[in-house]
Amino acid sequence: MGFGLIVIGDEILSGRREDKHLRRAIELLGARGLKLDWAQYVGDDRDSITATLRRTLAGTDIVFCTGGIGATPDDHTRQCAAAALGVPLVLHPEAREQIALRIAETAQGDPVKGDLNLPENQHRFKMGEFPQGARIIPNSYNRIPGFSVADHHFMPGFPVMAWPMMEWVLDHDYAHLFHQAGQQERAFYVFEAPESTLTPLMERVEAAYPGIRVFSLPSVGDAQRGDQLARRHIDLGVKGPAEQVGPAYAMLLEGVRGMGFETMEQAASGAAG
């Protein structure tokens, strides 16, 4: 069982909006000793969304899905989730109650605007139509809920709504998984070193510690910085079981220093990504 993220919306793929969910999901999971295993972007195409959900629902991963759960013509996620599950969309009673409360709040005592039989208010109830058997996810921002089916959790695309909902799901449904993986990550910077020269050492570290993965992230440097990272460098490190990270890190660092390259250590982090 891993954690996945699906971000839905043509506006992300076209560049009209920049995705902020990926970084935030990594942060929310990392704070709980968990990690994101994969992420996927999907446009507002019903066939693509349905195929993606059909595939992920057949697996065992815990999946957060953002975007497309409104009731405008370009919102398809609710319908696609139902199609992928082979069940109908039904108005969830708790969702209807929350939407009715929201209508009353926005009407501010106006009996005309608060009339639930108005066409526009009836249309708002469509946002509470979820795949049969779904559970609701509370929305602390404006009451319009998201929904969960199995280990898939569907939220709006707006960060101000989606992020608290994601936190709620993690703390409500998966607290038993927090800080159990025992995964750690440690890294240091290597300056002016060819990556190809370091590769044999990286392979030796992985061979010596089978649970460890060595990562190498080269950078040409940032001339605008006023510190050492303005120079060409590699972000080099190890991640894996806590008991192996320490000795693997020491082997990697000592090996690089033995080659004569300048290094700068970084602070250790909890969950490996």
Which CATH number does the domain housing residue 45 bear? 3.40.980.10
Kindly state whether residue 208 falls inside one of the protein's structural domains.
Answer: yes
Q: Sorting pLDDT into bands at 50, 70 and 90, what band is 181?
A: low
Which residue from 133, 15, 10, 27 is spatially nearest to 67, judged by alpha carbons? 10
Q: State the average pLDDT over residues 196-222.
A: 95
Kindly state whether residue 272 falls inside one of the protein's structural domains.
Answer: no
Total domains present in the chain: 2
Same domain, 72 and 203: no
Same domain, 154 and 226: no
User: What residues does 262 pair with on adjacent strands?
Assistant: 191
Kindly state whether residue 168 falls inside one of the protein's structural domains.
Answer: yes
Same domain, 227 and 210: yes
Mean pLDDT of the chain: 94
Which tokens sit at 44? 């507002």
Q: H or E stretch including 12?
A: helix 10-14
**Tens digits of per-residue pLDDT, 31-74?**
998 999 999 999 999 999 999 999 999 999 999 999 999 999 99
CATH number of residue 234's parent domain: 3.30.70.260
Domain boundary (116, 151, 177) is at: 177
Same domain, 149 and 246: no
Kindly state whether residue 271 falls inside one of the protein's structural domains.
Answer: no
Expressed as residue numbers, the domain containing 249 is 183-265
* Beta strands in the chain, from DSSP E residues, in sequence order: 3-8, 38-42, 62-66, 89-91, 129-131, 135-137, 146-149, 152-155, 183-191, 213-219, 233-241, 262-265
Domain boundary (119, 150, 177) is at: 177
User: What pTM did the predictor assign?
Assistant: 0.81
Domain boundary (152, 177, 202) is at: 177
pLDDT of residue 267: 77
Whether 179 shows a pLDDT value over 90: the answer reads no
